[in-house]
């Protein structure tokens, strides 16, 4: 997606060989026009796959997932990273390790909003090691939902996330694929 590539080049910053900072339009400040375009792109790609829900992990995936759900005219589900005192013991839960933050957290899904009749699209901001997406998949399987695919805004293709997901049989559609962040330079994989 050229619009997203342009924003990454203009405002993104390679903080290390593994970390890309995109706070100005995605992770801290959100550009709603860009998110609308992203949602429309995912919706166009997945439009004939019978998706009934879009699922994301809080928090940076919420804006693109919401716009995707809006374009597909289906509900969006947010997987929570923190347990709430108002939530009950019937949650589906799994532990996920964050590559970027270097810590583990418990990911939760409220079962009343998803079931075996749902065909789900997972949308997330980054794909690195594939741990977040794999955690989401584990929760969706607990609910007996099926997974249409995984939509990623920015894939770090030099890390094993895509391979892990594809080896499990999941369709991964990334809007931008980063080949390298070495020496502070952002290099893309050019799709054919």
Check the annotation: does 109 bind a ligand. Answer: no
Instruction: Check whether 45 has a pLDDT greater than 80.
Output: yes
d(CA 81, CA 177): 26
Is pLDDT above 80 for 102? Answer: no
Is 129 marked as binding a ligand? yes
The response to whether 130 counts as a known ligand-binding position is yes
> Which CATH number does the domain housing residue 17 bear?
3.40.50.2020
**Which pLDDT score, from 0 to 100, does residue 89 have?**
67
81 known member of a binding site: no
Q: Is 156 marked within a binding site?
A: yes
pTM of the model: 0.94
Structural domain including 162 reads 2-188
As for how many domains the chain has, the answer is: 1
* Segment (H or E) for 53: strand 53-57
Nearest to 133 by CA among 177, 157, 166: 166
Banded model confidence at residue 81, pLDDT cuts 50, 70, 90: confident
Phi, psi of 139 (to 5 degrees): -65, -40
As a whole number of angstroms, the distance between CA 9 and CA 48 comes to 32
Q: Which residues, 6+ apart, have CB-to-CB distance to 192 below 8 Å?
A: none
What are 191's two structure tokens? 């799709």
Q: Is the pLDDT reported for residue 57 higher than 90? A: yes
CA angle 22, 82, 23 (to 5 degrees): 10
The answer to whether 46 and 149 are in contact (CB under 8 A) is yes
- Using alpha carbons only, what angle is made at residue 42 by residues 39 and 47, rounded to the nearest 5 degrees? 115
């Amino acid at each position: 997606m050229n619009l997203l590539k342009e924003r990454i080049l203009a405002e993104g910053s390679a903080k290390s060989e593994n970390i890309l900072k995109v706070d100005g339009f995605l992770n801290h400040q959100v550009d709603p026009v860009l998110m609308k375009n992203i949602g429309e792109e995912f919706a166009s790609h997945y439009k004939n796959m019978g998706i009934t829900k879009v699922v994301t992990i809080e928090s940076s995936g919420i804006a693109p997932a919401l716009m995707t759900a809006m374009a597909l005219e289906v509900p969006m589900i947010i997987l929570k990273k923190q347990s709430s005192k108002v939530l009950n013991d019937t949650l589906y839960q799994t532990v996920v390790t964050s590559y970027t933050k270097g810590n583990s957290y418990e990911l939760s899904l409220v079962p009343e909003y998803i079931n075996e009749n749902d065909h789900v699209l997972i949308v997330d901001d980054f794909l690195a090691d594939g741990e977040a997406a794999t955690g989401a998949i584990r929760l969706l399987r607990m609910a007996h939902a099926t997974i249409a695919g995984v939509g990623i805004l920015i894939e770090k293709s030099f890390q094993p996330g895509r391979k892990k997901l594809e080896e499990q049989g999941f369709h991964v559609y990334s809007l931008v694929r980063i080949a390298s962040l070495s020496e502070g330079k952002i290099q893309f994989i050019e799709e054919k």
